[in-house]
Amino acid sequence: MRFKERIEKFVTRLNLSELNAYICTDASNIFYFTGLPSPATLLVRQDGSATVYTPPINHAVAEKEAPPNVEVVQTKIGSSVEVLLADILSQLGGMVGIDKLDVETHKKISGLISGVELRPQSRLIWEMRTAKDPSEIELIKEACLIADRSMRAAADLLVPGIMESEVRAELVAEIYRRGGQEPAFTPIVAFGERSAFPHGPIQKGVSRDRVLKRNDVVVIDLGVKVEGYCSDITRTFYIGSEMDEKLRNVFEAVLNAKSLAQSIMRPGVSCSYVDDMARDSLSNKGLDPYFIHSLGHGVGLDIHEPPRIGPGSQDQFMENNVVTCEPGVYIAGEWGVRMEDTVLVTEDNVIPLNSYPLDEHLIY
Footprint of a second copy (CB under 8 A): 35-37, 55-61, 64-65, 76-80, 100-104, 106, 120-122, 165-166, 168-170, 172-177, 179, 181-182, 186, 197-199, 202-205, 208-209, 227, 292-294, 308, 310-313, 332
Choose among 324, 335, 333: nearest CA to 234: 324
Angle of CA points 353, 355, 361, to nearest 5°: 130
C-alpha to C-alpha distance for 91 and 69, rounded to whole angstroms: 19
Q: Which is nearer to a second copy, 162 or 260 (CB)?
A: 162
Q: Which is nearer to a second copy, 337 or 344 (CB)?
A: 337
Angle of CA points 111, 113, 115, to nearest 5°: 125
User: Closest distance between a second copy and the C-beta of residue 24, in Å?
Assistant: 14
Q: Which is nearer to a second copy, 58 or 324 (CB)?
A: 58
Q: Which is nearer to a second copy, 105 or 346 (CB)?
A: 105
Q: Which is nearer to a second copy, 212 or 344 (CB)?
A: 212
User: Closest distance between a second copy and the C-beta of residue 209, in Å?
Assistant: 7
Helix axes 271-283, 245-263, angle to 10 degrees: 150
User: Closest distance between a second copy and the C-beta of residue 240, in Å?
Assistant: 26
User: Closest distance between a second copy and the C-beta of residue 221, in Å?
Assistant: 13
DSSP 3-state assignment of 31?
helix
Write the CB contacts of 43 (distance below 8 Å, at least 6 apart in sequence): 21, 22, 23, 50, 51, 52, 53, 88
- For 321, phi then psi, to 5°, come to -65, 140
Q: Which is nearer to a second copy, 51 or 186 (CB)?
A: 186
User: Closest distance between a second copy and the C-beta of residue 196, in Å?
Assistant: 8
Whether the Cβ atoms of residue 194 and residue 331 lie closer than 8 Å to each other: no
| Strands of the 362-363 sheet, one edge to the other | 188-191, 217-222, 233-239, 362-363
User: Closest distance between a second copy and the C-beta of residue 198, in Å?
Assistant: 5
